[in-house]
Amino acid sequence: MTKLLASREALLMVAIAILLAIIAWRFPAFVVPSNLLAVFNDTSPLILLAIGQMIVILTKCIDLSVAANLALTGMVVSLINIAVPGLPVIFIVLIAIGFGTLLGMFNGILVWKLAIPPIVVTLGTMTIFRGIIFLLTEGKWVNSHEMSDSFKSVPRTDLLGLPILSWIAIAAVILFTIVMTRTSLGRAFYAAGGNPHAATYAGINVGKTQFWAFTISGAIAGLTGYLWVSRFAVAYVDVAGGFELTVVAACVIGGVSIMGGIGTVFGALLGALFLGIIANALPVVNISPFSQMAISGGAIIIAVVLNAQANRSPGRIILKKAEHAT
């Protein structure tokens, strides 16, 4: 029980509760259920991307190309929608996931087969993906009236009181909680990042595991790309510009260790919600939206300081622990 209370997730839930209480004290309308659901819906893309990013960070990598992947996939499906307006949306969704997966695999191959540091690979692909959007469109926007109605309606359609966008985020949280805690692939992600040497000796191919992490991150980014452009009904080069940092911030705040091996889907969810609540509350409490960047920067730094304190062992007592255990 004490372990549960001391966990990062519990700490973060308390922080979120305090944050909501402060907002509610001044603006009670913000915490009515319907508004909270709207905030959740608005944060759903961030939740999705944070889950993918968390898996990548678990394996000691980082994926800075998620936002560019999202923008490129979003543009590709919008262009397909213009070219073939009658194409059923289910195919659009499959194309988005497939295309995002390919982009993620490209990152993964470079990291796995050529052993290029992930930060270099994804910094590079980040600019390349955005550049490709420009090459595809020559900088033109795809606007609302060019998209078919069915293309635009999916994320907003209500299902049991919640938009489909929210349901997809919930489904992803459940699916990846199961994958991370109940499958050997999930354990491999933790092992590859927690101790790559030990993982190798345990028969886990670390590079291949990292490849799968990038592939999953890419697939999620692709799906989110479709959801993003259809929700906002516009696609252009700078869609979600700089969003990769918000995604990393959500993970770090959610207790995912940048050194790999530590983190949970629930933590990433809470980290994303924390940032989502701040982003939605700022205009309500009359703070300039321009301050959001500084706040998320400050939140990353505070979170990483707290993480480091929490993960620091009080000394080298590994052997003693082992003696007691036997």
Partner 1 sequence: MNTRSIPDRLQSPLERKVKSWESLLMLVAIGIFVANSFASPYFLNAWNLSDATFNFTEKAMIAFAMALLIISGEIDLSVASIIALASTAMGAAVQMGVGTEGLVLIGLATGLVCGAFNGILVTGLGLPSIVVTIGTMSLFRGISFIILGDQAYRGYPPEFAFFGQGYVWWVISFEFVLFAIIAVIYGVVLHMTNFGRAVYAIGNNPTGALFSGIRVGRVKFILFLLTGLMSGIAAICLTSRLGSTRPSIATGWELEIVTMVVLGGVNILGGSGSIPGVVIAAFVMGLVTFGLGLLNVPGIVMSIVIGALLIGVIALPRLWTMWRTR
**Window 253-292: contact mask with partner 1 (x via CB under 8 A):** -----xx----------------------------x-xxx
With CA atoms as reference, report the closest residue to 132 among 102, 110, 162.
102
d(CA 91, CA 93) in angstroms, rounded, equals: 5
Answer for which of 32, 117, 140, 175 binds partner 1 (CB under 8 A) is 117
162 φ, ψ to 5°?
A: -120, 145
> Is residue 111 a contact residue for partner 1 (CB under 8 A)?
no
User: Closer CB to partner 1, residue 52 or residue 186?
Assistant: 52
Amino acid at 27: F
Question: What is the total residue count of the chain?
Answer: 326
Applying CB under 8 A, does 8 fall inside the site for partner 1?
no
310 binds partner 1 per the rule CB under 8 A: no
Report if residue 76 touches partner 1, rule: CB under 8 A: no
Looking at the Cβ atoms of 95 and 252, the one nearer to partner 1 is: 252
Question: Cα separation of 311 and 148, whole Å?
Answer: 50
Work out which of 21, 22, 284, 301 binds partner 1, going by CB under 8 A.
Answer: 301
Member of 135, 160, 319, 325 binding partner 1 (CB under 8 A)? 135
Residue 158 one-letter amino acid: D
Tokens of 92: 């659009």
Give the count of residues interacting with partner 1 (CB under 8 A): 43
Residue 31, number of CB atoms within 10 A of its CB? 16
User: Any alpha helices (H) in the chain, and if so which ranges?
Assistant: 2-6, 8-26, 33-58, 66-83, 89-113, 118-137, 149-153, 164-182, 184-194, 196-201, 206-232, 243-253, 265-284, 292-311, 318-325
159 binds partner 1 (CB under 8 A): no
CA angle 273, 277, 281 (to 5 degrees): 175
Strand partners for 162? 159
Task: By CB under 8 A, name the one of 76, 248, 262, 272 that touches partner 1.
Answer: 248
Residue 123 binds partner 1 (CB under 8 A): yes
Tell me how far, at minimum, the Cβ of 63 lies from partner 1, in Å: 13
206 binds partner 1 (CB under 8 A): no
Interface ranges with partner 1 (CB under 8 A): 62, 110, 114-117, 119-121, 123-128, 130-132, 134-135, 139, 237, 245, 248-249, 252, 258-259, 288, 290-298, 300-301, 304-305, 308
